[in-house]
Amino acid sequence: MLYHNPYDACQDSPVFDFWPGISVCYIVMIDLHMHTLLSDGVLLPSELIQRAYSMGYRALALTDHVDMSNIDFVIPRIVNVIREISEFTTLTVIPGAEITHVPPKLIPIMVKRARDLGAKIVVVHGETLAEPVAAGTNRAGIEAGADIISHPGLISPEDVMLAKERGVALEITARKGHSISNGHLAKIALETGALLVINTDSHAPEDLITLERARMILRASGITEKNTDHIIANSEKLIYKIGRN
């Protein structure tokens, strides 16, 4: 399935060459880490999608928290609601999951299980300083081939390098608490050339942000204006990649 709609969404936004022969607009709001009431968010998927649309989002991923207890409950429901709703929205909505507080040794099997159940964006809940996440979670998520390590806290340069080599995206987060280590991540990722994305980790309507706010958060993490555009473009690139698989 090809999710991306190269020109319709562009309007007055700049267009640039993404991959050979493919030009897309990149100045669009994309959020690949969002929660609904299928885990600890407060909105139905349908309402979250509608609210994101009205905020100017062009694409989002529903990535509710999962562990061994609920993965087979949550992901099929996300897949179903997206299947039924996609015909009636211009938003690209991607089924996903966030593997959360799972012991590192179990992360590989959970990443595989999530994909088998239909998750196209697999996030591993990284070692945020706001929660007591098990040490080794960032590394396990990268080695397991997750698409994104969310809020990876004081991630080591070695893990950032490994993420770069494996093509795993690392998350700059808009979320309070998780965001205190954004500057640390931005610095190492820019030095190594690792892939960064920005997400909100939304749980409630007030967590949704505009594109301008996303830019501001990136700038506040020590990222230059030029790199800001590239980081926003990375989410689109990720969507394009999964759409082709």
Does residue 159 touch Zn ion according to CB under 5 A?
Answer: no
Does residue 40 touch Zn ion according to CB under 5 A?
Answer: yes
Picking from 89, 79, 80, the residue whose alpha carbon sits closest to that of residue 57 is 89
Nearer to Zn ion, 61 or 218 (CB): 61
Nearer to Zn ion, 25 or 217 (CB): 217
Q: Of 82-111, which residues contact Zn ion (CB under 5 A)?
A: 98
Q: Minimum distance from CB of 2 to Zn ion (Å)? A: 27
Question: What are the structure tokens assigned to 91, written together?
Answer: 């938003």
Which span sits near Zn ion by CB under 5 A: 36-44, 84-92, 179-187, 207-215? 36-44
Does residue 201 touch Zn ion according to CB under 5 A?
Answer: yes
Nearer to Zn ion, 143 or 201 (CB): 201
Buried b (16+ CB within 10 A) or exposed e, 185-219: bbebbbeeebbbbbbbbbbeeebbbebeebbebbe
Nearer to Zn ion, 150 or 228 (CB): 150
Question: What are the structure tokens assigned to 35, written together?
Answer: 């929660």
Picking from 241, 174, 164, the residue whose alpha carbon sits closest to that of residue 29 is 174
What is residue 187's three-state secondary structure? helix
Which residues of the chain form contacts with Zn ion (CB under 5 A)? 40, 98, 201
